[in-house]
């Protein structure tokens, strides 16, 4: 119960910070495509997005204790359905909204055991504010910043943002599926 209250209080503080006015980041805007960025993988190795050049990506900030955590199941379905056609989900666990586990190992185990996740996961990463990962600053300049967990950025084959949806849009929604199919229909860069 104490942990739940602590997470709730932290959530409100994080929400206030996330809803602060967005200021574009000129340094992040200098990067031209998603392939310019590298995350750290949940295993501690580099996870360069350049390895996905020519594919379609759905980059999603995730959390283990969020009311939207069940979206992992939909993300897994998308990854399995569209993966053979050149698509991948990239999960980016984040504690920015105070709803993530404490360590990468705990997140990885949770994702594998509870949801059978096999798509790439980044290490726990900042996705909002001045300390946000450069990809997230760039994506926020191109679309909008994450306001909560499970914000989704669709990256087209050319490495540009092709869509952006908040947590209330389920991964398997017709809107996201249509956008993925449209992005997959485009020629490889």
Q: What is the pLDDT of residues 25-68, one digit of tens each?
A: 455 555 589 999 999 999 999 999 999 999 999 999 999 999 99
CB 143 within 8 A of CB 34: no
CA–CA gap between residue 157 and residue 184 (Å, rounded)? 7
Q: What is the pLDDT of residue 30?
A: 53
156 has a pLDDT exceeding 80: yes
pTM: 0.84
As a whole number, mean pLDDT of residues 79-96 equals 97
Domain that holds residue 11: 2-185
Higher pLDDT, 33 or 9: 33
Residue where the block lists tokens 């569209």: 82
Active site residues: 66
Answer whether 101's CB lies under 8 Å from 107's CB.
yes
Q: Of 130 and 28, which is predicted with more confidence? A: 130
Tally of domains in the chain? 1
Average pLDDT, the chain: 88
Average confidence (pLDDT) over 86-97: 97
Q: How far apart are the C-alpha atoms of 6 and 43, rounded to whole Å?
A: 28
Q: Which CATH number characterizes residue 159's domain?
A: 3.40.30.10
Q: What is the pLDDT of residue 32?
A: 86
Query: Does residue 21 have a pLDDT over 50?
Result: no
The 10 Å Cβ neighbour count of residue 28 is 20
Q: What's the count of helices (H) and strands (E) in the chain, helices before strands?
A: 6, 6
Residues with Cβ within 8 Å of residue 36, at least 6 apart in sequence: 49, 50, 138, 159
Write the CA distances from 165 to 81, 101, 126, integer angstroms: 20, 24, 18
**Tokens coding 144:** 């909008």
Mean pLDDT calculated for residue range 171-188? 95
Confidence of residue 81 (pLDDT cuts 50, 70, 90): very high
CA nearest neighbour of 133 among 44, 62, 37, 13: 37
Name the DSSP letter for residue 171.
T
Integer Cα distance of 127 and 30 in angstroms? 18
Is the pLDDT confidence value at 182 over 50?
yes
Mean pLDDT of 75-85: 98
């Amino acid at each position: 119960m104490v942990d739940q209250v602590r997470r709730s209080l932290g959530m409100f503080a994080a929400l206030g910070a996330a809803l602060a006015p967005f200021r574009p980041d000129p340094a992040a805007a200098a990067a031209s495509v998603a392939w310019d960025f590298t995350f750290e993988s949940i295993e501690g190795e580099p996870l360069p997005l350049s390895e996905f050049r020519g594919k379609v990506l759905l980059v999603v900030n995730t959390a283990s204790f969020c009311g939207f955590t069940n979206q992992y199941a939909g993300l897994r379905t998308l990854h399995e359905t569209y993966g053979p056609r050149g698509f991948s989900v990239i999960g980016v666990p984040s504690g920015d909204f105070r709803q993530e586990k404490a360590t990468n190992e705990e997140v990885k185990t949770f994702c594998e055991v509870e949801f059978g996740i096999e798509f790439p996961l980044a290490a726990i990463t900042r996705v909002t504010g001045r300390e946000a990962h450069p990809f997230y600053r760039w994506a926020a300049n191109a679309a909008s910043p994450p306001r909560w967990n499970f914000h989704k950025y669709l990256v087209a084959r050319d490495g540009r943002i092709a869509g952006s949806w908040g947590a209330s849009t389920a991964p398997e929604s017709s809107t996201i599926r249509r956008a993925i199919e449209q992005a997959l229909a485009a020629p490889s860069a």
